[in-house]
């Protein structure tokens, strides 16, 4: 890798990894955003999707708490109400535009219950197009479900290999890769079982990243927090979630990684914020920034306030600003539940 590419990657990391700021994930695929719109009684169209994302990105002051935004591929070519390309809207606020580059998951052959993500074919060429549209970082998600037999060793190793190959291509093209190994919250597994799986998954991911000579200083890790399954009868406390999550990270993540931006993974907005805060309180001197890269946990209150109606735009933006502010505070360990009122 030449010096100019390294300088490009460092400049992006510097702009993305900012104290008390996180990343807005607005990269829902068309089928996913259609489900979100259906839940608020809105019909998903290309125009309504554009209007909604424009609403999010033009929220006044959001750049105080958001340093980067992940866009869906189609969003890179869309414009705000005043005709400004949406990536430029973000860049003018000092928010780094990024793009989701994976092509979704399929069953992994010979690994019953495990899945694998597609999208490596033509990735370098696509990244060059995305760069011309203003994107500076990328995101790729691999998914791991927990059961008695899953994830299998094959599933863990195959998914780690995909993440590493993606990350290596990104860095060659001057893109900071967000590496997202999502251990799903679905099921009735215990906190201890999630810790065991999460440790195995993230350990394998970093082994693969090293094999592919990915430079640790120029990636962002987007993991799940360590949580019991949604159907488990015993709910973990904030302190238990924080302790289990920090245990996994200390055992697996090199200190050279600049930032760990958690996904919310099906938690409520309030839970995701409170757990992030507890993690920062427990480990205030962590070698990495401990921040957020939330989709639903940032957007859901705004989406409900908006309800697909332009006249609700201001109310929706106020809700997004509020949740971004709360999570900005949580990424510094300065949140408390009284701020929700």
pTM summary value:
0.97
Q: How confident is the model at residue 319 (pLDDT cuts 50, 70, 90)?
A: very high
Average pLDDT over residues 194-215: 98
Average pLDDT over residues 18-46: 93
State yes or no: pLDDT of 93 exceeds 80: yes
What is the chain's mean pLDDT, rounded? 96
Dump pLDDT digits (tens) for 215-248: 999 999 999 999 999 999 999 999 999 999 999 9
State yes or no: pLDDT of 341 exceeds 70: no
* Residue entry with tokens 């002051």: 61
For residue 337, the model assigns a pLDDT of 80
For residue 269, the model assigns a pLDDT of 96
Cα–Cα distance measured from residue 94 to residue 91, given in angstroms and rounded to the nearest whole number: 5
Would you say 268 and 233 are in contact if contact means Cβ atoms under 8 Å apart? no
Dump pLDDT digits (tens) for 33-79: 999 999 999 899 999 999 999 999 999 999 999 999 999 999 999 99
- CATH for 3-331 is 3.20.20.70
For residue 333, the model assigns a pLDDT of 95
Average pLDDT over residues 170-183: 98
Close Cβ partners of 295 (under 8 Å, ≥ 6 residues apart):
24, 25, 26, 27, 28, 263, 264
The percentage of residues in the chain with a pLDDT greater than 90, rounded to a whole number, is 95
The radius of gyration of the chain's CA atoms, rounded to the nearest angstrom, is 19
For residue 339, the model assigns a pLDDT of 75
Cα–Cα distance measured from residue 100 to residue 243, given in angstroms and rounded to the nearest whole number: 30
Average pLDDT over residues 188-210: 98
Q: Which of 100, 32, 36, 46 is nearest to 68 (CA)?
A: 100
CA distances 214 to 83, 167, 209, Å, are 38, 7, 5
For residue 1, the model assigns a pLDDT of 86
Dump pLDDT digits (tens) for 264-274: 999 999 999 99
Q: Which amino acids are annotated catalytic?
A: 222
Dump pLDDT digits (tens) for 138-170: 999 999 999 999 999 999 999 999 999 999 999
Dump pLDDT digits (tens) for 273-294: 999 999 999 999 999 999 999 9
Domain coordinates of the chain in residue numbers? 3-331
CA distances 242 to 1, 27, 95, 104, 270, Å, are 37, 27, 28, 30, 15
CA distances 331 to 220, 221, 282, 289, 309, Å, are 15, 15, 12, 8, 32
């Amino acid at each position: 890798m030449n010096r100019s590419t390294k300088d490009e990657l460092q400049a992006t990391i510097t702009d993305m990894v900012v104290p008390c700021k996180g990343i807005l994930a607005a990269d829902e695929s068309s089928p996913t955003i259609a489900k979100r719109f259906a839940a608020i009684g809105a019909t998903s169209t290309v125009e309504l999707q554009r209007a909604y994302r424009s609403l999010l990105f033009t929220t006044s002051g959001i750049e105080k708490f958001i340093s980067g935004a992940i866009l869906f591929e189609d969003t890179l070519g869309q414009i705000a109400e005043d005709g400004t390309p949406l990536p430029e809207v973000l860049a003018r606020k000092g928010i780094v535009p990024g793009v989701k580059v994976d092509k979704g998951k399929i069953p992994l052959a010979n690994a019953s219950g495990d899945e694998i993500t597609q999208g490596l074919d033509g990735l370098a060429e696509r990244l060059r197009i995305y760069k011309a549209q203003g994107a500076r970082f990328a995101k790729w998600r691999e998914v791991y479900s927990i059961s008695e037999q899953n994830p299998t060793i094959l599933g863990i190793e195959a998914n780690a290999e995909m993440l590493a190959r993606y990350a290596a291509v990104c860095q060659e093209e001057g893109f900071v890769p967000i590496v997202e190994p999502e251990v799903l919250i679905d099921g009735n597994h215990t906190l201890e079982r999630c810790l065991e799986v999460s440790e195995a998954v993230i350990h394998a991911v970093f082994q693969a990243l090293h094999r592919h000579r990915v430079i640790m200083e120029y990636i962002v890790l987007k993991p799940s927090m360590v949580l019991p399954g949604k159907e488990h009868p015993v709910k973990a406390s904030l302190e238990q979630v924080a302790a289990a999550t920090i245990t996994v990270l200390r055992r697996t993540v090199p200190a050279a990684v600049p930032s760990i931006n958690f996904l919310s993974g099906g938690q409520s907005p309030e839970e995701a914020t409170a757990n992030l805060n507890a993690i920062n309180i427990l480990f205030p001197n962590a070698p990495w920034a401990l921040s957020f890269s939330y989709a639903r946990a940032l957007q859901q209150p705004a989406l409900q306030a908006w309800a697909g109606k332009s006249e609700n735009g201001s109310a929706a933006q106020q809700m997004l600003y509020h949740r971004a502010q709360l999570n900005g505070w949580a990424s510094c360990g300065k949140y408390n539940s009284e701020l929700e009122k």
